[in-house]
Amino acid sequence: MKRMMIALAAAGFLAGALPATADEALFKSKGCVKCHDAEKKKKGPAISAMSAKYKGDVAKATAAVKGKDHPEVDASDAELAKLVKHAIGAK
């Protein structure tokens, strides 16, 4: 029983260290976190601000990411779609 409790505690600790979703992992691996935070404005707007601004409008948010004011993102179109959906909270 003691071993099981230790194993469960370790699994919970390790799970907390892993990204919550594959989209979040992609967001981190593509460097988006350098400029964007969940709640705080960094070099770029906070994810919460982007979500409020675009209200699920993936096309409008994608156009902003591809625009001249946003640094080029090294991502395929499919990855970019996932990144934008993750950033604005779209399904």
Q: Report the percent of the chain where pLDDT is more than 90.
A: 59
Q: Is residue 10 domain-resident?
A: no
pLDDT digits (tens, 9 = 90+) for 52-83: 999 999 999 999 999 988 998 899 999 999 99
| SS (HEC) of the chain | CHHHHHHHHHHHHHHHHCCCCHHHHHHHHCCHHHCECCCCECCCCCHHHHHHHHCCCHHHHHHHHHCCCCCCCCCCHHHHHHHHHHHHCCC
Q: Is residue 2 domain-resident?
A: no
Q: pTM of this prediction?
A: 0.69
Give the domain extent around 53: 21-88
Using left for φ > 0, alpha for ψ between -120 and 50, and beta otherwise, residue 89 falls in left
Q: Is residue 13 domain-resident?
A: no
Q: Is residue 36 domain-resident?
A: yes
Asked if 42 and 36 touch (Cβ cutoff 8 Å), the reply is yes
Q: Is residue 71 domain-resident?
A: yes
Count: domains in the chain: 1
Q: Is residue 67 domain-resident?
A: yes
Query: What's the CATH code of the domain at 49?
Result: 1.10.760.10
pLDDT band for position 3 (cuts 50, 70, 90): low
13 vs 82, which has greater pLDDT?
Answer: 82
